[in-house]
Amino acid sequence: MSVKLSTLLAVCTALTLGASLPLNQVHADKEPVAETLPWEDARLLAEVLEHVRRDYVERVDDRTLIENAIRGMVSSLDPHSAFLDNEEYDEIRISTTGNYSGVGIEVTMEGGAVKVVAPIEGTPAAKAGIEPGDTIISIDGVAVEQATLNEAINRMRGRAGTTVKVRVTREGVSSPLEFLLERSNVQVHSVKHELLEPGYGYVRITHFSETTGLDLNNSITALKAASPTGLKGLVLDLRNNPGGVLEAAVNVSDAFLDDGIIVTASGRVAESKFEMDATPGDITDGAEIVVLVNSGSASASEIVAGALKDHGRALLVGRTTFGKGSVQTVMPLSDGRAIKLTTSRYYTPSGVSIHHKGITPDVLVDRDIEPHDFMPGIGGEALLRGDQQIVLALDKLKDGSVIRQSRGKSRSDVKKR
């Protein structure tokens, strides 16, 4: 005897599965779950829930119990599947779309204090004069010394047109500074660039969102404009890039490739099985490329690194990548919640799965180093002074290593489908 899973859930709480918003996945709609669950298992879950409700030392409301049960069920599948509450789902949507409503400050927690990494260009924070290195001490009169980073970020976010008062301390300024900021729509750009020297550019992609492809095109256009004699070489920095939207990784790979497979994937349902191919056109006009990677380069970063490596289009420099060869799809639920579920395994153009193995660079460095802090307008000379791996990449562009790598790569190594 069996009972519909939806029936059991209706007894516990009403949860409705809606259309899917993919993360690292092609867009598709899902039908409501209609699998059956053995009656014995359904009864076991109901028994445990009832014991906890009745006998646990403290009272726990039914919604919390059900959410925790779901969270445990999904997170036990693998490290990348998860139940997302409202706030977690909002964070996923912000990271994938690159849009949110707030004041436009990149912040980090340093020594227990919330520090400004940089105000985002054109945002209320930048226009008001907030500077990199400022320490935020209060938001709307509430001290943030003991707050978590997420709490501080959430306080500064809000509906466009509303105001927030941010108080900061600044090195060299004796008294705190106070800014009344009107929240607005903020566009988070995932691509930054600098000209290292004439003919040689540097592009760093911090994560992959829906705007990454356009941001990359804008960066390459700017680098070309700054190099009247043409772009000879490019350093593409993917270090500590945790990934993001699959389509963005495909767009970035396609920007540097004229043809061939970029990535393939397999899964249990039809929409989780796909192949993505490059289209004609190289935005660098054939400039040589060195890609910097490390153990923090994961998922979508590895899709780009694997495609450019397998096609002999770039030389990889750094440390072995993280090794996340799976694709997650975010599936909205009721009341602004969602689940992030692993739905596919992906493969590089040569048909290799990098899951739990990562991608080994062509040139290995002795140790992982943190990418140099990238402040707007830092300049190529400052990057070269502060980051020896960028220096190494530039040397490889100049000494012919990339050309030798490209010539040594047989197209037959790339799996034909």
The amino acid occupying position 134 is D
Using only C-alpha atoms, the chain has a radius of gyration, in whole angstroms, of 24
Contact 267, 273 (CB under 8 A): yes
224 carries an active-site annotation: no
299 carries an active-site annotation: yes
134 carries an active-site annotation: no
% helix / strand / coil in the chain, to the nearest 5?
A: 35, 25, 40
Residue located via tokens 């010394």: 145
CA distance 322 to 381: 30
Closest CA to 4 of 45, 31, 51, 39: 39
Helix/strand/coil for 304: helix
Set 134, 215, 237, 310: catalytic member: 310
Set 209, 299, 344, 401: catalytic member: 299
Set 219, 253, 254, 324: catalytic member: 324
- Count of alpha carbons within 13 angstroms of residue 116, beta-carbon side: 25
Residue located via tokens 């929409």: 271
Helix (H) or strand (E) holding 85: none
Q: Tell me the two tokens of residue 30.
A: 């899902």
Closest CA to 288 of 253, 315, 262: 315
Helix/strand/coil for 106: strand
Residues noted as catalytic: 299, 310, 324
